[in-house]
Structure 1
C-alpha cells in the first residue's frame, strides 16, 4: 500500500484495502492513514478521504495525530479550509492534541490562502499549547504578512526572531525579499540583500546563499550600473563554491558591455561557452555593437557568423546594429544588400531598421534612393516616425529642394508632431528660400505646441492672438487644433468652442481630427441633439467622418440612454463601407448589458467575431461584468476562460470583476482557484 501510495495509484491502494477486509484482516489506524493520504493527494477524491475519517470512528479505530494532520493537509490543499478547521477542532476535543507538525501544516496552508487572521489564531494556540515558534514557523508568518501587505510588520518579525535567539535562514530572507519585490519596494529588497545576505554576513549566520538569490542581487546592480558591486558578487560567488549559471554570465556580460569593457565581456563569453552554457541573443547583439563602436569590425562580423554555430537566429536588433556599423563605414552597397537579405533570413525590418538605412543613404548623398525606401516603408506597414522625416527633410534642404522638404513636412504633420530638430532643420532653409510667411506659420504652430505641452495654455493663446492681430499672419489649422485640444484637456471648454467658431469664419478647412476632438467633448457634457448637429455640420462641410468619429457618436448615444438609436446607426454604417472596431462594439455591448438585454449583447459579441473584429481585454471585461452582475456567473467564467484560451491576457480589472461576481454568489473556492492561477 505504501509503495502504490507513493505512485498515487488509488485503484491499487483501495483495492488492497478491500482485499484485506475480504481476507478477514481488520484495517488499523495506519492502514486508514495511508488511504487518506493517497486520496487527499488527488484533489477530486477529497470527499472520500474525509469519509474514511468518519468510517474510522464508526469502526472504533480512532484516528491519531498523524491521521488528523494528513487529512488537514489534504483538505487545505483542496481549498476546503472550513472543513480543515472542523477536523482541527474535532482533533482538539479528542485525546489526541495537535503537535508541532499539525500547527506548521495549518500555518503554512492558511498563509498560502492569504488568511492572516487564521494564521494569527493558530499561532496563539500553538504558543498556548507550549510549542515555541522556530525558524520554520516564523518564515511562514513572514510569508503570511507579506501576502497581506503588512511588509513593515514582516520586517519587525525578523527583529523579534533575533531578540529570542532565532536566526533567519535563507528561505526567511528570500520570502521577505520576494514580498517586497512584488509591491515594487525595490530599494528595500536591495538593502535587505546588502545588509543581511552578503556572502560574509550570511556565512557568519551559517547560511550559504543559493544561485537564485545571488542572481537577484546581481540583476539589481547591473541595472543600476554598479559594476564594482556586481563584480564583487560574481567573484564572491565562485569563491563560495557556487557555480554561475547562464543567467549570471549573461548579466555580467551586459554589465561589462555597458561600461565599454569589451575584452572582459569577450573573456566571460568564452568562459561561458567552455562551461556549456548558452548565451542569449541580447548579449550577442550588445557584443556586436560594442565591437563595432570600438572599431573592431572584423570581430563584430565574426561574432555575427558564430550565431549560426550557436543556433541563435539573429533578430531585427542584430541587423539594425550591423546596418548602423556599415553606415558609419560609409558602405552603402553592403548596407543595402544586408537590408534586402533580412526577409530571406526570417526577419522583418522595423522602423529603426528603415531609419538606420535612411540615415546611411542620406549621409552618402543617395537622397532619391532614400525617398524610394521611405515609400517602401509605408508599403510594408512600417510607419515612419519623427526621426524618419527629420532625416529626409534635412537631406532635401541640403540639396536645396525646399519645396520637396516642405511637402514632407506637411505630410509629417498629418500623423506626427514635429520636434525642435524639425524646426531647426526646416526654418533656415525656408527663410533662405524667402518664404518668410511660411516660416512664421511654422514657428507659430511649434511655439503653441510647446507652450501647451508645458501647461501654459493661456500664454499660448495670448501669443496666438499677437501673431494673428499684430503680425497679420493667417494661422494654420494645426495651430488651432493644438490650442483647441489643450483647452479641452484643461476644461477651458468655452475658449475651445470660441476658437472652433473662429476657425470656421477665417476660411480654414476643418479636418476630421478637430471634429473628433469636439464630438468627444460633447459626449461627456452635451446632448444628443448637439452631437448630431455637429456631426451633420461636419458632413455638410465636406469633411468625411472616419471610424473614430462614428465610434464617438455611438458612444455618445449610449451614454445618453439612446441605445436603440445607437444600434440603428451601427446597422446603417455597416451596410456601407464602415469597418467596426472593438471601440464600436464596447459601448453597444455595455449599454445592452446595463439594460439587462444579455442575449442581444451576446449576439453583438458573436457578430463582432463574424466581422473579423478581434475582441480585446476591455470587451471581455465588459461582458464578464455584465453577465456576472446580471446573475449569470457561469457565463462570466466561461467568457474569462475563453479570453485566456484565445491568448488575451487578463488585466487587474478582469480579475477584480470576476472575483466580485463570484463573491456575490458565494463561490469562494472558485475565487481562490482564479487568484492562484
Structure 2
C-alpha cells in the first residue's frame, strides 16, 4: 500500500496542541501482541492502566499487521481514550489522524472520543472544528456526539444554547439519555440558573428519564462546588426516594459539600450512618478530617485517623498532612510531632507540605529557631522549599522582630531559584511598619518595584496606615495619589487609615472632605468609616451631626455596632452633656442594642469625674444586675470618685471587692484610699490596706529582692509607706499616723499568733470593745456605733452580716478563712469550724 502523509486535523489544532503537550516517547522495543479485536482492546486498556502508554502504539502496530484495517476502529478509540486520560492529548490527536492514513476512516465513536478529549482539555474551538469535519465526511452524529457538544456549550458559559440543542435531539433522530439531561442541568446550575436547572431536572424525571448514579454524581458535584447545599440535598433526597443506589462517590461528594458548606455535624452523622451501606474509603475519611481541621476540631480528626487505621483503611500522605497541619494551626506542636514520628514509622515520608505546616506552626508559636532547623533539614533532604515555605519563615522572623534575618532569607530565596513575590515583600513591609520603621518599609517597597514586583492594595494600605499612625499625613496622602498611578483603587481600608489619621490630628474639615472624596471615587464606606466620622463630629462638639451619621449608616444598609454608640455616648460625655448620654443609653437599651462593659465604663467614669456618685453607683448597680462584669477601670473610677466625695467607706468596699475579684489596683489607687481613711481617722482600715498591698505584691522592688517571704509581711509595710510618701500618693500627716497604727496592729497580731477560731473571735470582741470605748470617749452614742452594722455579739454566730468592715482583724480573717474554704464575700462569713486550728500571719 503506498505511503502518504496523514492529513492534519486542523492547522490551529495541531499548533495549539504542540504548544501545550510534549511529544510522545518512542514505542517500546518489544511490541505487545494479541490475536483478536477484544484481546487487543483489553491489552491496550491494561497497558494504559499500567502507565505503559508508549507501548499502546506498539500494540496498535501489531494489530495492524495481522487484522483487517476496517476492523481496528475499537482499538483506535480505546487508544485515543487512553492517551486522553493520561493527559497525552498530542498522542491522542496523532492516533486519530493516522486512522485515515492506515485505511480506517474514523466513525462516530472515534470522532466522539477525540472531541471529548479536546473539550476536557479546554480546546472547545478545535472540538467544534472536528464536529464540522465529521459532518463534511458524511458521518452522522449520534447521541454521544451531541452530549459532548452539550458539555462544551456548558463549559463555555452557554448553558441555554445547550438547552436549545437538547430540545432538538429527538428531531435529529437521537434519544435523549440521562447523561445529556444531566450535562445541561449541571451547566445551568454552574452558571447560576437555579430555577431553569431545577425545572429541567424535574422535566427529566417527569419523562421517566431516570439518571444513573454517574450522571447524577456530576450534577451533585457541580452543586456542591457552587456551595448550594440546600439544593444539593433536595435533589439527592428526590433521586434516592425514586430508587437511585448511591455509590461511594455520591457519599464522598455529599460529605465534602456538607463540610465546605458549614454543616460539619451532618457530615459526621452521615459518615457514622454510611457503614450500614458502603464502607468508607480513604477519600471519605480525608474529606471529613479536612472539614474537622478547618473547624479547629483537630482532636476529633485524630480520632477518625485512628478509626480508619483500626478498620484497615491505610492513610495516605494527604491524611497525615491534614491532621499534622490541623495540630500546627492550633498550636499543638507536640501532638503534631508525635503523629509525625508515628507516621514515619509506618512508612510516611514527610514532604514539602509537611515541612510547611510545621514551619508555619513553629513560627506562629514564636519558635523561629526550631523552624529554621526544620527548614535546613528539608533542604538537606533535597526538598526544595517553595514560596509558601519561604513566606512562612519570613513571616515568623518578622513577627519576632528579626527583620534583618528575614531579609537574609529573602536573599537566599533567589540563590535557591525561588523568587520572592509581592506577598513576601508585603510581609517584610508590614513587619517594618509595626516596628515603626516606615522609611525602611518605603525603601523595601521601592526595591520591590525596581525588581519588577508591582505593589498591591495591601502594600499601599500597610504603608499608609503606618504613616497615619505617626501622623505623617502628607506622606500618607502622597501614597494614596501614587496608588492611582499604578492603577490601584484605594479601598475602604485605605480611606479609613487616612480618615483616622486626620481625625487624630484634629483636622476635622479635612476628614469631611476626604469622606466626600471617598464617596465620589465610588468606594463604599463600612462601619469603621462611619465610626471615625462620629468621633470626628464629637470632637468638634457637633453632636447632632454625629447622631445623623448613625441614621446614615442605617440607610446605607450598615448596622451600627457597639463602637458606634460608645463613641457617640463618649462624645456626649466629653462635651458635658451627661444626662443626654444617659438618655441615649436608655433609648438604645429599649431598642435592644446590646451595651458592652466599655459602655457602662464611659458613663460611670463621666459621672464619677463630675462627682455625681449617686448616678455612678446607680449605673454600676444596673451593670451588675444585667450580668456585665466590671473591670479594673470600673472599680478605679468608682474608688476615685468615692474618695473625692469623702465616701471613704464605699471606696474601701470597692477596693476590697476589686482585690477579691483578682484585679490588682495601682499604687496610686491604694494611696488614695489610704489617704482618705487616715483623714477619716480610720487608721486600722488604712493599715489593712497597706497589708493588702503587700499580699497582692504592690511593693517596691527592693522588698522582693531583700526579704524572704516570712519576713516580708513584717518588713514590707514600713518600706511601702515610705514609698507611698516618696511618690506623693499619701500626705505627710498620713505617713506619720500610719507608723503608729502599724506598730499597734503588729502588737495585736503577736498576741494572737496561734489560736483557735473561738479564741480568734474572743480576740476580735476584745479589740472591738476597745475600739468602741474609744469612740464613746469621743462622744458618739451606742446607737450611732451600731447604725452601720450589727453588734459585736452577732459576729460570734455561725452566720452574720456586717455592712462595713470596721476592723482590720476582721478583714484579715476574711483573707485567712478564704484559704481554708471559708469565705467572707461582701461581709458574709461562711463555713466556720471551731475545731480547726490555724496559724495566721499579717
What TM-score does the superposition give when structure 2 sets the normalisation length? Answer: 0.41
Higher helix share: 1
Higher relative contact order, chain-length normalized (CA < 8 Å, sep 6+): 1
